[in-house]
Chains A and B, each alone.
Chain A
């Protein structure tokens, strides 16, 4: 099969002396992942599938003209995190504003998820969701140590606060 790149660029060899004379398809660090056919030079003029119809909001990178022919439909943007995600997608993938805003949206989304659970009458079982039952099964001394350290720190903080409050009261009197 004739190489597509050569077909598209055939005129160059007529106008530029020595054009392509040292080109070597094997001199390509992406081989063997990529079996070079020159198809890159088709750009977007390739056979495309039918378009999946969006039923919810699909954000797309501003480095492409629109959505892809298929896409995932998990968790559409919503709430405050959705606003943040929409804002993030104004920036390119090369911009820190894009990614850091998305990370911020992810953290906001966690709080939204908790509130959403409660709104639906579901109190999340944090012990189970964190997999702490497995931690108890396989690292019992570690759990006991962590709980003990936590308890000591909590006691120290409470004691400190109580002492401070006592001192303030005695100063007022």
Chain B
């Protein structure tokens, strides 16, 4: 089959000779992929920043597809069902899944205990091949995959597998109260969705901070929020946020950037160039310093598993609550499907590039180098249907 094949940092190819996936467990399904996105977090893999990313792996954790084969224990799906597949691989029975922490499943990732299994996200997340392929093996298919509701746009469905729930949960974890000022660091797809979702929780003001003008312009339209360039509009983002909140601090800060943040030479050199820490924690540092005393910092940006330079003393002294997790997609899907079907959320509005799977290398480069005003690229395998 045709699938993306990782060959090393900044090198991937579309490979026609990848083996077809097989049923390896009675709760598996095989899905023929119809839509697959490249996530901002895939770029951390693409840039070689995630340990145990092995050559030959297929990435991709945001996809929809048609069920073509089922294991003997999967009774809630049928061959031919068109499903959206949450990025979390979750058993549904471990104590964490029982309590709806589907992103923290204890039975899907042998290689690391700190993260549950994720499709196509290195062996640190379980060693599963992902959905940037014609076919994919879906473990625990009786738990994660959800039949796409009639009338839902296929592109919306694909974005309900990660970016929408992650953005929504970023806002949810912020504990936003009506009238709160929410600052979102990062105007990538997750940051844009977090900003949009902050309004659903009653934010009084939503500010997004980035350094890429086209993304900030997009944010103003898409998330109807204030958008500022931390290079051009201010000397120091922390002072800027303090000033704009009557020297109080934001009620809620959301880190939607993660380990590849720009803005601090020290963080960039030690985190991204020398890899002396698990990426550059500039956005998190700004979030901690910009939030009010007793405020909440919500983290959905992806960091590596080692360590980062963050002002933990300020967390203590300001009495900040830090909330973070991988999105629990299955928990959030019912509510998010309602929002999408009612037109309150428009996930597909994030997609700027639709690229054939055969051109996956170009798609990665365009997204990584931020060419052609790229916000979110979607890969479309040959012969994929237009609608669900």
**Chain A residues packing against B (C-beta within 8 Å):** 29-30, 32-37, 39-40, 42-43, 46-50, 52-53, 55, 58-61, 63-64, 66-75, 77, 81, 85, 88-89, 93, 96, 99-100, 102-103, 105-107, 109-110, 112-114, 117, 124-126, 128-135, 138-139
Q: Which residues of B contact A42 (CB under 8 A)?
A: 95
Secondary structure of the A contact surface, majority rule:
loop
A sample of 10 inter-chain contacts (CB < 8 A) reads A29-B323, A33-B100, A34-B99, A69-B108, A72-B117, A74-B123, A100-B306, A102-B52, A110-B9, A129-B7
B27 touches A70 (CB 8 A): yes
B365 at interface by CB-CB < 8 Å: yes
Question: Which of B126, B331, B364 is close to A131, meaning CB atoms less than 8 Å apart?
Answer: B364
Question: Which of A58, A72, A99, A139 is close to B304, meaning CB atoms less than 8 Å apart?
Answer: A99
Question: Which of B126, B140, B173, B364 is close to A33, meaning CB atoms less than 8 Å apart?
Answer: B173
**Chain B residues packing against A (C-beta within 8 Å):** 7-13, 24-28, 48, 51-58, 73, 89, 91, 93-95, 98-101, 106-114, 117, 123-124, 126-129, 139-140, 169, 172-173, 275, 304-306, 321, 323, 325, 328, 331, 361-366, 368-369, 371-372
A63 touches B113 (CB 8 A): yes
Closest to A102 in B: B51
B113 touches A64 (CB 8 A): yes
A46 touches B51 (CB 8 A): no
Nearest 4 interchain pairs by C-beta: A131-B365, A72-B127, A72-B128, A110-B8
Question: Which of A30, A40, A114 is close to B95, meaning CB atoms less than 8 Å apart?
Answer: A40
Q: How far is the CA of A10 from the CA of B364 in the complex (A)?
A: 56
Measured between C-beta atoms, what is the minimum distance from B315 to chain A in Å? 13
Q: Which residues of A contact B140 (CB under 8 A)?
A: 49, 70
Closest to B368 in A: A131
Question: Which of A72, A93, A124 is close to B113, meaning CB atoms less than 8 Å apart?
Answer: A93
A112 touches B323 (CB 8 A): no
Q: How far is the CA of A73 from the CA of B119 in the complex (A)?
A: 11
Closest to B362 in A: A134
Measured between C-beta atoms, what is the minimum distance from A43 to chain B in Å? 8
A34 touches B100 (CB 8 A): yes
A39 touches B331 (CB 8 A): no
Q: Which residues of A contact B98 (CB under 8 A)?
A: 37, 39, 46
B55 touches A133 (CB 8 A): no
Q: How far is the CA of A34 from the CA of B108 in the complex (A)?
A: 18
Q: How far is the CA of A98 from the CA of B13 in the complex (A)?
A: 29
